[in-house]
Structure 1
Amino acid sequence: MSTPEGKGGREARRGSGRRRPGGRLLIGLLCAVLGFAVTAEVRSNDRSTKFATARQDELVGILGDLSQRSERLRGDIRDLESTKAGLERDTQGQTAVEDARRRAATYGMLAGTLPAAGPGIRLTIDDPRGRLRAEDLLDALEELRDAGAEVIQVGDVRVGVSTYFADAASGGAVADGRLLTRPYVFLVIGDPHTLATALNIPGGVLQTLRNDGARGKVVQEQRIVIRAIRSP
């Protein structure tokens, strides 16, 4: 027969034997975790020390490649800056040319050496009795200038700064030495409303013409074309 002590001892030893597989599993799990950590650390160190472990000739090659790329980029930058500067110079030159052309056109129209077109009025003066004198036409011209007329043509004569009127020996008037035929027609470029208002004011040109037995008619137009030009 076995004693209680002997039975208890055998049970204790059997219990102890049953706990061993769990311990080995825990140890294995710890070893796996440790191995994974070591592997991750090795890979991290491998990535971070890629250039540190490279041979000298490999480092020289990498450095040379980077230097060539950097030089090519600097060359591209220089080319782009040169192109930009050229475009800016061309733009400024073209702007200057266009501005010079605009000025030349403006001066040409004011001097009477170029045709002109724009909004304005058509002033027709009918003198059936032939009573108007050169000074009457000059008064009409001066009134138009004071009202802001930019370009004026009387008959076939382009008005300039030196334009003059004179009485013709056979009656009527001449402008710059050329005989004007009745009715006298003024083609005027400027603000239509302002020009018409200036001619129609009390005591103005139209009233003066009526007092002399002549008739004046003003027509506002959106486009007046003046083709007569003066010799330079």
Structure 2
Amino acid sequence: MPERRSAVVREGTNPEDLQSSRRPPLFTWGAAPWTVGLLLGLLGFALSVTALDRREDPTQNLTETELVQLLNGVRAQEDALDAERDALLQRKQAYENDRDLSAAQREARERSQELGILAGTLPAGGPGVVLELRPGDDQEDLAPLLLDAVQELRDAGAEAMQVNGHRIVASTWFLDGGSGTVVVDGEELEPPYRLEAIGPADTMRTAMEIPGGVVESGQEAGATVTVAKVGQVTVDATVPARGR
């Protein structure tokens, strides 16, 4: 028969002392998940490091000559980009210069045209008024009446004027010629007189029709004077340009 082993407890031994004399387990089930997680983390880190170590630098196997060629290629590409940038900057500057020049030329052309119209060397067209003056029988002193009309229209903003096809400028003068005629800058004009003016039509018409103005003064002198707004007045008479 097999021998039976029996635990012998000595008399006087405390059971609590016997329990404490046993060795503690290597690990408990409560700590097992933490231990497994730590091991898995270390394993993953080791695999990552191994994968990184296996990655090769694309230039580490190149020879010195190949590295020099690669560097020269990079430098050549940088030089090409710099040249393209400089070309674009030059084109931008040229465009801005052309734009400024075009604006200056346009402004100069417009200014020259304005001066030409004021000087009477260029024709003009635009809205304005037309004043007609028909002298009465044996009426004299028409030159002062025409001069007053020109001055009033100029003060009201007239830009260009002509009377019976004769251009009126700053130096224009009027003189009675007799028998109802008027001499303008040495040219004798015959009635009726048609004074055409380009400018703000409402303002110029009001200036002609105010009490004591040209219309009233002419009618009191026996003439027939009318003034009308016109949508398009053409002043095509010109004077020769003066040489410098």
Q: How does the TM-score come out when normalised to structure 2? A: 0.76
Q: How many residues matched? A: 210
Partner residue, 1:199: 208
Cα distance change of structure 1 residues 67 and 43 upon mapping to structure 2, 3 Å threshold: farther
Structure 2 residue corresponding to 1:177, chosen from 171, 183, 186: 186
Deviation, structure 1 residue 228: 0.5
Q: 1:57-103, CA deviations, whole angstroms, 9 ceiling, x for partnerless residues? A: 24333322221111110010011111111112222222221111111
User: How big is the alpha-carbon RMSD for the aligned residues of Structure 1 and Structure 2?
Assistant: 2.6
Cα distance change of structure 1 residues 40 and 60 upon mapping to structure 2, 3 Å threshold: farther
Distance 2:226 2:166 in 1: 20
Partner residue, 1:9: none
- Return structure 1 stretches of 4+ with deviation > 4 angstroms: 1-5, 32-39
Partner residue, 1:146: 155
Structure 1: which 5+ residue stretches go unaligned? 6-26
Distance 1:2 1:72 in 2: 99
Return the letter of the residue paired with 2:233: I
Partner residue, 1:65: 73
Structure 1 residue corresponding to 2:60, chosen from 38, 53, 56: 53
Deviation, structure 1 residue 56: 4.5
Distance 2:191 2:80 in 1: 80
The answer on whether the counterparts of 1:120 and 1:222 sit within 8 Å (CA) in structure 2 is yes
Partner residue, 1:126: 134
| SS of the residue 1:168 aligns to | strand
Cα distance change of structure 1 residues 39 and 191 upon mapping to structure 2, 3 Å threshold: same
Matched, 1:77 2:85: yes
Return the letter of the residue paired with 1:97: Q
The answer on whether the counterparts of 2:59 and 2:67 sit within 8 Å (CA) in structure 1 is no
Q: 1:154-194, CA deviations, whole angstroms, 9 ceiling, x for partnerless residues? A: 11110011111111144321211222222111100111111
Higher helix share: 1
The answer on whether the counterparts of 2:135 and 2:180 sit within 8 Å (CA) in structure 1 is no
Structure 1 residue corresponding to 2:51, chosen from 43, 59, 66: 43
Distance 1:103 1:36 in 2: 83
Cα distance change of structure 1 residues 218 and 46 upon mapping to structure 2, 3 Å threshold: farther
Report % sequence identity: 34
The answer on whether the counterparts of 1:132 and 1:214 sit within 8 Å (CA) in structure 2 is no
Moved more, 85-94 or 208-217: 85-94
Structure 2 residue corresponding to 1:155, chosen from 130, 145, 164: 164
Deviation, structure 1 residue 34: 7.2
Structure 2: which 5+ residue stretches go unaligned? 6-35
The answer on whether the counterparts of 1:154 and 1:184 sit within 8 Å (CA) in structure 2 is yes
Partner residue, 2:32: none
Q: 1:3-44, CA deviations, whole angstroms, 9 ceiling, x for partnerless residues? A: 788xxxxxxxxxxxxxxxxxxxxx9xx7x9877654432332
Question: Larger radius of gyration, structure 1 or 2?
Answer: 2
